[in-house]
Amino acid sequence: MQRRHLYILSVCATVCLFGLEVKSARIFNSHTDKIPSPAEMSQIADSLSPEEISQLEIDDVLRDRLRFDPQWQEIAQAIRQDIIQTKWGRDPVKNPAWKRYGAKAYPLLRYYARFGDRTRRQYGIEGILNLGNPYTTIWFYQQIKQKITRVDSSYEEYRDKEKKESIALSEWEKFDQLQDPTESQLNEAISFYQKQSIHVRDRILVERLGKIKAGEITPFGLAFFRALANDPSTDEEKAKDRIWAIAELDRHGDEQGSELLQDILENDLPQLYPLSLLAGYLNYSARHWHAYYLMLGIVEKYPQSKFVRGCREYGDLTGRSYFNGEPRNQTILERNAKMTDRERLEAWQDWLNRYEDHSGADDASYFLALSLQDNNDIMGAMRLWMKMMAQPMGDGDASYLAFPHIRILLNVGLSIEQMQILLQDPDNQPLAPFLQYAIAIQYARSQNYAKALETAEDIKLETLPDRILDAYFYPQERGRMHTSLYDPVARYKKETKSLLSEQKLRWQKLLQWQIENTPESRYQIASNWAGIGGWKNGRLNLPVLHDYQRYTLPNPSYQGYQGCRKWWVCDESKRDYEEIRTKYQEHSENAIAISIYQELLEDNRTSPAIREKTLYMMAMTLFDQWENHTFSESQNIHPPAGVTATVSFNQFKSSLKRILYELPAAIGKRYSFGEELKGGNVVSDYQHRIDQIITELQTKFPQSRYTDDLLFSSFFLSHQLSYLQTLLERYPNSDRAAEAKFLLGLKK
């Protein structure tokens, strides 16, 4: 079979099986009365160029029709039956689909080979391997092409870098051996040093000069450090070398260096920023540990300096040492525990008033923002977190801690009105693109597509300063050595610009349906949210360090990093339960779709045909939420529209401690909190609503083609055999009948 025929077959077979929206060439109208057979589809493909095939789009109308066309189901059903046998059967599959259908099965096998589910993925890969060439070769080539990116070039780049560094370090040896360097020799050494890469300079300072014992500095080393220490340049790299040289001179007992250092420790704390940043726990450069010990030496030698007093008082407030995190004594810990939220807020504000130019000013500002949040001043906290990102503060190593709070508050915390207030503040202008983007997304989530489009026109992502993204992605310059291969700043800007362009197109389409304002158009809006890519309608694509953070929101189930007190947005002591649930539902594309479906079901103008489809899609969206989304998300949005809840968000929270800590001891084994609850109240609430839908379809739409599918899916949601038995009794000719018989046979 020609590859173009395989492509068309894969489109239709995949649509038939999964109801996915797939792009190909628009070879026929989705509303036509007759769907081409597979043979006719292959003939049509002969008349199309590859470019035309790649541009075809199959819409949801055609998708729904193909799903029930018997001509397209044979291969899909055969493969589906094989997978069920593999996953749940007692015996292996004797005559798999790829033996019966050969190359025709390749597109679906390739589809399954990409699956997250292990059984389906292994089935797809095994099938491809058994088909042999050219299909095995094609598939392997695609895998290699995806996984190997610039391996050869990156290795060559690394090898060249190592070679250049070795040569530079060898050349440096001639300077190390100078016993009485002249001014010209010293200038030559400094010029050579400053021309080197950051990595070479780091290795010179640490591996050559840093290994010299305290008080044993060579004449050249002394002259070299003095030259760096006396350089008044404000250039970032030279300033970093200057404070390093001053600290090294002090370590070796140089009087001039010690005088400079003492003045800095008392009167010019910002000069310490480069050194304290290098000593930070997230820094992975060659200088890190040497900088750390230089700082410890300074603390021990000058305990009464302003800098060290600030470190000590900061540690008293946090209950841990400023540098190594060692716990304070019990008296201090007990004092901190007795502090009220207001007292803690005032303590951090007092520290910042006295040490505003300290290296830890950014860290203290973070704790002050948390204290503002604890006192329910969320706008004050947000302003401070935005200030941490937008303006230089302290040594800057804590700036990245502020952004997760900004991202979460813009997602499910602040209202549009609050964001607009922040947008008017001149101090927040560097972050204006984020605020405008969040406002546009909030409008889209609330179904105001016209305002979303209007707001999106003013978003200029290119004006977002790179330094803000750098501060988040590179809090301690980590990863900088890899930017030639992978630059998250450039990637984020490109990705978000592309997504925003697509979102505008989607909002325009949704707005057109909204203007029509018919039951059919409203059904299309809901299906767009529930369908493939529906998440894009309301995705606020702000920077994340890890992909899971795109989808994860704070939840009462989490006691540590994601705890609600830290993140405020789900803290019921600060926000009303209904407000929390509403915000979380607005964040969920399925919750939005379900609410629109429910409105259609409650509208007397909805025709029987639309009502039947809406009932089916309501149930399928509930199935999708249960199967393809996290339990914490399902918990947060519970109950979605039309579902009657037997358990709610705040009930989960109040019983959490007992479930997590008491039950495991009582039952004597590990307890899966998420899965148990997912198999309990939430699922039973979903199933109860789906049962109502099945009953209405059976009563009002006895010929509905959807009912057997809902019965079949209900078995996997509830694990109750009665759904399979009902399917066989009432729909013996269903395309699900063979699978239902097979599954019932396994239970006997």
**Each residue of 389-440: pLDDT tens digit?**
999 899 988 988 999 999 999 999 999 999 999 999 999 999 999 999 999 9
Q: Residues 641-662: pLDDT tens digits?
A: 999 988 665 554 544 443 444 4
Q: Residues 82-112: pLDDT tens digits?
A: 888 787 777 788 888 888 877 767 777 777 7
Q: Residue 39's pLDDT band (boundaries 50, 70, 90)?
A: low
Q: Residues 13-35: pLDDT tens digits?
A: 333 333 333 333 333 444 444 55
Tokens of 381: 């906290």
* pLDDT higher than 80, residue 594: yes
How many residues in the chain? 748
CB atoms closer than 10 angstroms to residue 56: 17
Tokens 């910042």 locate to: 352
Q: Residue 77's pLDDT band (boundaries 50, 70, 90)?
A: confident
Task: State the Cα angle at 84 between 634 and 72, rounded to 5°.
Answer: 95
Q: Residues 527-551: pLDDT tens digits?
A: 999 998 999 999 999 888 766 666 6
Instruction: Give the closest residue to 366 by CA, choosing from 411, 332, 431, 318.
Output: 318
Tokens of 10: 């894969």
Q: What is the 3-state secondary structure (H, E, C) of 354-403?
A: HCCCCCCHHHHHHHHHHHHHHCCCHHHHHHHHHHHHHCCCCCCCCHHHHH
Highest mean pLDDT among 345-349, 459-463, 718-722: 345-349
CA distance readout (Å), 526 to 65, 593, 597: 18, 4, 6
Share of the chain above pLDDT 70, in %: 78
Contact 396, 472 (CB under 8 A): no
Burial class (CB in 10 A: 0-12, 13-18, 19+), 637: buried
Rounded Cα distance between 273 and 392, Å, is: 11
Contact 476, 284 (CB under 8 A): yes
560 or 507: which leads in pLDDT: 507
Q: Residue 561's pLDDT band (boundaries 50, 70, 90)?
A: very low
Contact 600, 517 (CB under 8 A): no
Please state, rounded to an integer, the average pLDDT across all residues of the chain: 82
The DSSP line for 685-745 is: HHHHHHHHHHHHHHHH-TT-SSHHHHHHHHHHHH--THHHHHHHHH-TT-TTHHHHHHHHH
Q: Can you count the helices (H) and strands (E) in the chain?
A: 41, 0
Give 57's strand partners: 23
Instruction: Give the closest residue to 217 by CA, choosing from 241, 192, 253, 191.
Output: 253
Q: What are phi and psi of 640, to 5 degrees?
A: -70, 170
CA distance readout (Å), 133 to 109, 130, 137, 285: 14, 9, 6, 49
Contact 113, 128 (CB under 8 A): yes
Tokens of 703: 């010929």
Tokens of 333: 């810990």
Q: Out of 139-148, 175-184, 385-394, which region has the weakest mean confidence (pLDDT)?
A: 139-148
Give 327's strand partners: 320
DSSP label of 441: H
Provide the 3-class DSSP secondary structure of residue 165: helix
Instruction: Give the closest residue to 723 by CA, choosing from 680, 693, 700.
Output: 693
Q: Residues 113-141: pLDDT tens digits?
A: 776 567 778 888 888 888 777 777 776 76
CB atoms closer than 10 angstroms to residue 293: 14
The DSSP line for 77-124 is: HHHHHHHHHHHH-SS--SS-HHHHHGGGGHHHHHHHHT-SSHHHHHHH
* pLDDT higher than 60, residue 267: yes
465 or 555: which leads in pLDDT: 465
Provide the 3-class DSSP secondary structure of residue 8: helix
Rounded Cα distance between 322 and 203, Å, is: 27
Give mean pLDDT, residues 240-267. Answer: 97
Rounded Cα distance between 437 and 435, Å, is: 5
Give 23's strand partners: 57
Burial class (CB in 10 A: 0-12, 13-18, 19+), 186: middle
Rounded Cα distance between 714 and 726, Å, is: 11
Tokens 């002090």 locate to: 250
Alpha carbon 623 to chain centroid distance? 24
Rounded Cα distance between 368 and 383, Å, is: 11
Task: State the Cα angle at 219 between 213 and 221, rounded to 5°.
Answer: 60
- B/e letters for 477-516, b = 16+ CB within 10 Å, e = fewer, are beebeeeeeebbbeebbeebeeebeebbebbeebbebbee
Cα end-to-end distance, the chain, whole Å: 42
Q: What are phi and psi of 66, to 5 degrees?
A: -60, -35
Whether the predicted model's global pTM rises above the 0.85 cut: no
Contact 439, 420 (CB under 8 A): yes
Provide the 3-class DSSP secondary structure of residue 320: strand
